[in-house]
A and B are shown apart, each in its own frame.
Chain A
Amino acid sequence: MEPHQHNLEFHRKSKKVNKKDIRIVESERGSKTIFLPGYLDHGLYVPPLEEFKNKVLKQLKRNYRLSNLYWMYLRHCGLLHPTHPSRSIETGSEVLGISSPREYRCNHHQKRAEQAVRRMWHSRDVEMCIRDPTKHPLPSIIQFKRKFPAEYKFIREHDGMYDFLENLHPGLYNAINQRTVPSNLHSGLKKLGKELREAVHSGLPLSSTYLSRSDDSKERRWYRQISFLMKNYPDSKRRLQFEEVVSRLTGISQADVHAIPVGARECGELAEAFVRCYLVWASKESFDPLNLNLNHLPNTEERALKFDREEIKFKFEHNKKGYAYADGRLGDTALEVKVESKKLRGRVLEDCLQRYGNGNHWNDGEKMNGAILFLYQEPKFFVKAISHLEKADIRVIEFHDFQGSFAALMDRVLKRNTELLEYTEPKINLPALLNAHHTLSVEEKKLNFSKAGFRTHRKWYLDMLESLIYEGEKK
């Protein structure tokens, strides 16, 4: 066997060697040279043990690590073990009578980590926090990580944060992670949830970007409250996402928090399309079950029904812009369609009266001649407002009246215009349209209808109505 083959064998195989094979030559200074059969003819050098031990300890104390040369010597020391010689660090340390450098380093880091934890969370502070977490909150683990990154890494890699902290101070981990919730928060959550739910169903996008940049102080307040709750939501052990907080407060799933406002806006478009479809066909057919005086308009010769953006704009001094838009215009009468499930009182009612009950002027200079308000709501939402609206010359068309009139009109239209409507795209399904119309005004059904799962349905209904409007206007 060639010598280099022995070397390979020695490296590859076990570090243990047979005691009988070892030949030790000691010098006058006390250093030793160890000879192993077939391995390095000049032998392995080991410095005098006492001297080497002192040097190793000195180096470990200074920078908690050993030089490569010392590592090698320490390994050689292992071969001097009286019972089981082995060329390893552990046996070498045993021969020298010191703990292994790895252990030494680990102990050192352990001590440093303990010191860091005590500096971060003083036992007096911890006790105070356990007694009253609201008044004496402790710094978080994240803060510890930023201040002592090496110690944090050591703890994570060894015991883990929970065990390490609990060993040092029982109850510390829970005290750190205890959420500090103000006592009056719980009562406010219900109210905030109700407000947000109403907002979602009225089509308001409850995203952090929209709320934080909103002009409305109420919406900015919501943003602040939700942001606070992200860190302090009761009974939550972790930090929540913005959408998660909204979802928990409103009881609406996270996906629907985004989808419902879109759906609610589409429901609004659908309701406007129903009204427009009715008006277009009622004037064409001269059949108006709602008695909206479509045939006695001052300007029937011209186009009396107006829905273009510029035509429905009117001057309005009660907002920052100085103008506002109606949903339509019948001669000089404003048309407004209300779909959201919000009670018509307080600010909402006031806004409605200011818009349509004040004799505002249209953008083309004509004076607004009252208004017609189409309400896709259950009576409980508007019954108390009717007297106020009528005083202000605003006519209210309730949903039930509109449903019956629309059904009668469309039935007549479809019977009398079979040829015209035979090839509309999509095909007209009157029962489906009437069902959709009904859905829009029943709160519970509308909330369900606003979900993303009905997007295709909503688009289909809108397409049908637009097709009907197109045919009506073309006729």
Chain B
Amino acid sequence: MSLAKLVGGRILRYHGQKNLEYLEVTRGTLELEHGRVPEHIRRYHLSLPREISDKEVLFVDIETCGLSFNAPINTITVGKINGELSFRTFFAPDYFAEKAILIACLDYLRKADAVFTYNGTTFDIKRLSKRMQLHNIFRRTEKTNLGEMLGNKHYDLYPSMVKLLAEQNHALLDRKLQTLEKVLSKTHREEDIPGARIPEIYNAFIQGGKDIEERKKIEEDMAKVIEHNILDVASTCAVAAYAHENGVNIWENLLSPKVHISQ
């Protein structure tokens, strides 16, 4: 797959199954070219509470094949604080591989102590949960609803940010992640793919293209979608940093004595 070369990823097989292949892309913050976002993230690391430093903290974002609740998921990026922030993207090269990327993502979420999303309560986590239920990948002993399974571990940054921005009297057009990113991190994405075009690009990628030129163009677009997803996760992390710096207690649930933190 030339897309793998294009984004510097590797093709993995789900549990060694020959048939179920997906693409995994790994990145570090040093490789990010994203305005002041990496700087924000580094500052954030320095200000992390001591209790948190050894915990498995994840930032999650997904891309779907449409806004319909039944649309499959094609890309999932998990940002993980492990000394440095690193990103791992799971990309399904076709609909068949969706199950594999969901399993890969669930493996991460199971181990997580905290999961941060931006608008995840109504979108990312809900969608992931629905698709995971459909593919029947939850263990028998687990809850079959991702939201319930994560419980207090999941923190949606969206409501806190809306409240914080209202308190600070920010005059923003909307509360979208990219708007926040522009204002808070003073950055602008160049050659970015708009989110609304992602289903169309993915569909074209599945179709394949009529000739070499068309295929190349589609693969380039697809690579941009993967980059878009990674940048979204980086921005989510930067938003968490901003919220934390401005006094929002985003660790509230994680540090609460009621919550059991698995080691």
Given known contacts A453-B70, A457-B72, A460-B94, A427 and B206 CB-to-CB distance under 8 angstroms? yes
CB distance A429 to B96 under 8 Å? yes
Q: Residue-by-residue, is A412-426 near B (CB-CB < 8 Å gives 1, otherwise 0)?
A: 000000000001111
Which of under 10, 10 to 19, 20 to 34, or 35 or more describes the interface residues of B? Answer: 20 to 34
A122–chain B nearest beta-carbon distance, Å: 51
Q: Is B82 part of the binding interface, using a Cβ–Cβ cutoff of 8 Å?
A: no
CB distance A448 to B208 under 8 Å? no
CB distance B208 to A423 under 8 Å? yes
Chain A residues, Cβ within 8 Å of B20: 431
Q: Is A210 part of the binding interface, using a Cβ–Cβ cutoff of 8 Å?
A: no
Q: Which of B20, B94, B136, B211 has the most CB of A within 10 A?
A: B94
CB distance B19 to A431 under 8 Å? yes
Given known contacts A423-B210, A453-B70, A435 and B95 CB-to-CB distance under 8 angstroms? no
Q: Residue-by-residue, is B4-37 near A (CB-CB < 8 Å gives 1, otherwise 0)?
A: 0000000000000011100000000000000000
Main secondary structure on B side of the interface with A: loop
Given known contacts A425-B210, A453-B130, A460-B206, A435 and B96 CB-to-CB distance under 8 angstroms? yes
CB distance B207 to A456 under 8 Å? no
CB distance B18 to A451 under 8 Å? no
Alpha-carbon distance A451/B130, docked complex (angstroms): 12
Alpha-carbon distance A452/B131, docked complex (angstroms): 11
Q: Residue-by-residue, is B96-131 near A (CB-CB < 8 Å gives 1, otherwise 0)?
A: 101000000000000000000000000000000011
Chain B residues, Cβ within 8 Å of A435: 19, 96
Chain B residues, Cβ within 8 Å of A456: 65, 70-72, 95
Q: Is B134 part of the binding interface, using a Cβ–Cβ cutoff of 8 Å?
A: yes
Alpha-carbon distance A423/B71, docked complex (angstroms): 26
CB distance B134 to A451 under 8 Å? yes
Option from B94, B131, B206, B208 in Cβ contact (under 8 Å) with A453: B131
Tell me the B175-207 residues at the A interface (CB within 8 Å).
206-207
Chain A residues, Cβ within 8 Å of B94: 426-427, 429, 432, 460
Alpha-carbon distance A118/B182, docked complex (angstroms): 72
Q: Is A145 part of the binding interface, using a Cβ–Cβ cutoff of 8 Å?
A: no
A423–chain B nearest beta-carbon distance, Å: 6
Closest to B206 in A: A426
Alpha-carbon distance A460/B94, docked complex (angstroms): 9
Chain B residues, Cβ within 8 Å of A451: 134
Q: Is A470 part of the binding interface, using a Cβ–Cβ cutoff of 8 Å?
A: no
Chain B residues, Cβ within 8 Å of A102: none
Q: Is A228 part of the binding interface, using a Cβ–Cβ cutoff of 8 Å?
A: no
Alpha-carbon distance A432/B206, docked complex (angstroms): 13
Closest to A432 in B: B96
Option from B95, B130, B209 in Cβ contact (under 8 Å) with A457: B95
Alpha-carbon distance A118/B207, docked complex (angstroms): 73
B174–chain A nearest beta-carbon distance, Å: 29
Chain B residues, Cβ within 8 Å of A434: 19
Closest to A431 in B: B19
Closest to A452 in B: B70
Q: Is A454 part of the binding interface, using a Cβ–Cβ cutoff of 8 Å?
A: yes
Alpha-carbon distance A457/B72, docked complex (angstroms): 8
Option from B72, B130, B208 in Cβ contact (under 8 Å) with A425: B208
Alpha-carbon distance A432/B94, docked complex (angstroms): 9
Closest to A449 in B: B134
CB distance A448 to B70 under 8 Å? no
CB distance B70 to A455 under 8 Å? yes
Q: Residue-by-residue, is A438-462 near B (CB-CB < 8 Å gives 1, otherwise 0)?
A: 0000000000100111111100100
Q: Residue-by-residue, is A163-201 near B (CB-CB < 8 Å gives 1, otherwise 0)?
A: 000000000000000000000000000000000000000
A9–chain B nearest beta-carbon distance, Å: 45
B207–chain A nearest beta-carbon distance, Å: 5
Option from B71, B98, B208 in Cβ contact (under 8 Å) with A424: B208
Q: A432-B94, A456-B95 are in contact. List 4 more A-B contacts (CB 8 A).
A: A452-B70, A455-B70, A456-B71, A457-B95
Listed by A's residue number, 11 A-B pairs whose Cβ atoms lie within 8 Å are A423-B210, A431-B18, A432-B19, A448-B136, A451-B134, A452-B70, A453-B134, A456-B65, A456-B70, A456-B95, A460-B95
Per CB-CB distance, the 9 closest pairs between chain A and chain B, nearest first, are A431-B19, A432-B96, A427-B208, A453-B134, A425-B207, A457-B95, A453-B70, A426-B207, A452-B70
- A-side interface residues toward B, CB under 8 Å? 423-427, 429, 431-432, 434-435, 448, 451-457, 460
